[in-house]
Structure formats: structure tokens, C-alpha cells
Amino acid sequence: MRILSGIQPTGRFHWGNYFGAIRQYIALQTNEQAFYFIADLHALTTVRDPDQLRRNSLDAALDMLALGLDPSQATLFLQSDVPEVAELTWLLMTVTQMHLLEKCHAYKDKRDRGLPADAGLFTYPVLMAADILIYDSQVVPVGQDQVQHIEVTRDIAQRFNNMYQREVFQLPEARVLDSSAKVPGLDGEKMSKSYNNTIELFEEPKKLRKKIMSIKTDSLPVEAPKDPDQCPVFALYALFADEAQRTAMAERYRAGGLGYGEAKQALFEQADAWIGPARARRAELAANEAGVREILAAGAAKARGKAREVLERARSACGLSHG
């Protein structure tokens, strides 16, 4: 079964990215045929600084490898290193109806807020469809808010197949990621770069502790019993702790006598110990950027082999291939 997912290099990964998606991508690489790409073409709709985009893309690769992505099991590559996807995007654009794109979230949200939306944002779902279809992807792990893109991809693929009366494209299925992990940000709201409330995965210890100590909590005194289910510090602690640790911490909350400063210190120690090995691994990888680029190049070569096969099917269906 071929798994496919793309990750945009619009900034450093944070705790919400990892617990909401990345850890599940990495878990799916075992006994699966997984293609994971860094979506630098998609990022062009928001990142306009070329040096920043290059840096973000390399950082994304370093982070994924340090977190456990295994190049011997999963194919990791840059989206822009597979130029076939751009040609397939155009072939798909010729059969995609406008009303389908007008309903898509990113464009619709900007339009409804009176913000300018360029053609890249409007046609973004077609590039996403090309990303998925060009590798004969069977399963695409997504959050609930991204299921629409898989539905659009299926609509486009079916229309292309019907128009040219050939089964050119496989129809992918969405696998909705487990979103049960609660990842509040520094302000208690959902952790998101757009809210400027994130904790990066690879924060250095001093900065990590400072951020954790700034997490917003209520004003209950130390001696007062507290509800762990209503506390963002406990929600974050629970992500890193085992069952026994979570149970013990919850009991201390409910018994009273636990101050938020102590709870934050426990969170820092737990999180820092958890990320320590990955932080060390990332430092090793960063010291050998040439090796990381070789991994990306090898991944792109493998991805291009499959992409050429699928693109040739589409070109032939359209009448663009000879013979």
C-alpha cells in the first residue's frame, strides 16, 4: 500500500505539528511503501524569500530524519525535484471545473475575509491532486480539515478518467489522522504558527524552559485543588509522560499543594528528556548537510521513476505521446 504525504516548509516544526501529524506519518512508514515530500512549490504561496525557503526546506528534512523517518523505508524528497508534477498539474487543470476550486477552504476563506487571493492559491488543490495522483497513491493521511482536498483529488481523477475513457489514475483514500492529542499553545489556544503561540520541537533547553514558564494559567493559589483536564500545562505534560506519570501528576493536581511553577518545571524536564536524543541526532545530520542532500536526491530519483510512469499514462490518454 502506497502512503503519500507532503509537509510545507513554512517554518520550523512545533509540538502541534509533531503530535498532530508527524509522529503518525513516521509510524506509517513501517511495512508500508511511503512517499513523503517537502512541499516547497506549495510554500511559494506564502514564503517569498528564496533564501528562507531553501533554509526551511532543509530544516524540514533535518527535522523529519531526526524524528525517525528512515530513508531505507520511506522515500523523502523535495516536491520541486520532481518536475513531472508541474506538467501533470496542467493536464489536470484542463479538466478541472472552476466551481470545484471556488468551494475549497483556503481560497474561500481569503475571499470571504476580503483578502487578495492569487491564482496560485486558487489552483492550489490541482497541484495537490497532481502530487497525490502522480505516485499512484492509495492512502493519504490527513487531518479532518484536509479531507476536502482528497475529495477534490478524486473528483478530478474521475473526471479525467471518464473524459479520456481510460483508467489513468487510481483513486486515493483519505486516512484521517488521530486528532485526540490536545496540543495547546502558550496562550491556551490551539498551538499554531498563525497564533504565534508555538513551542518548536528542537528548542534549545534554555529557550524551551523560558517558553514553558510563560504558559498562561489561571490564578489559583498553590494550596488549591486544580482540574488537570482544564490546564494547558497538564495537557502538554501528558503528551510526553507515560500512563503512570500522567496518573500521578493528575492526582497531585486534584489534591492541592501543586503550584503551576512546579508543574511547568516537570513539563520542561519531561519534554527536554524526550527531545534530547532527537536533538542530538539532528545536530549530527546538520553537520553533514551534503549527506542529507544525498538522501533527498535519492528520494527524488525514486519518486521521478514512478512519476514518469504515471505522467506517460496521462500524456498518452490526452494524445500528447507518439506511438
Torsion over CA: 277, 283, 287, 292 (sign) = positive
Write out the three cell numbers for 274: 524526550
Spot the catalytic one: 110, 182, 216, 302.
110
C-alpha cell at 248: 500521578
Measured CA to CA, the distance from residue 60 to residue 77 in angstroms comes to 11
Residue tagged 525535484 (cell numbers) = 81
> What count of residues does the chain have?
323
* 296 exposure class (CB count in 10 Å sphere: 0-12, 13-18, 19+): buried
Q: Residue 64's closest CA among 285, 238, 236, 294? A: 285
β-bridge partners, 174: 140
Catalytic site includes residue 193: yes
Q: How far is CA 6 from the centre of its chain?
A: 6
Nearest CA to 211 out of 227, 233, 229 is that of 233
| Catalytic entry in 182, 193, 216, 302 | 193
Decide: 148 and 104 in contact? Cβ < 8 Å.
Answer: yes
- Tell me the DSSP string of 230-259: G-HHHHHHHHHS-HHHHHHHHHHHHHS---
103 tagged catalytic: no
The answer to whether 37 and 76 have CB atoms below 8 angstroms apart is yes
Query: Cα–Cα–Cα angle for 168, 170, 172, nearest 5°?
Result: 150
Q: How far apart are CA 96 and CA 94, in angstroms?
A: 6
Catalytic residue among 182, 190, 216, 302: 190
Calpha distance 226→228 (Å, rounded): 6
190 is catalytic: yes
Q: Are 61 and 292 in contact (CB under 8 A)?
A: yes
| Residues assigned a catalytic role | 110, 190, 193
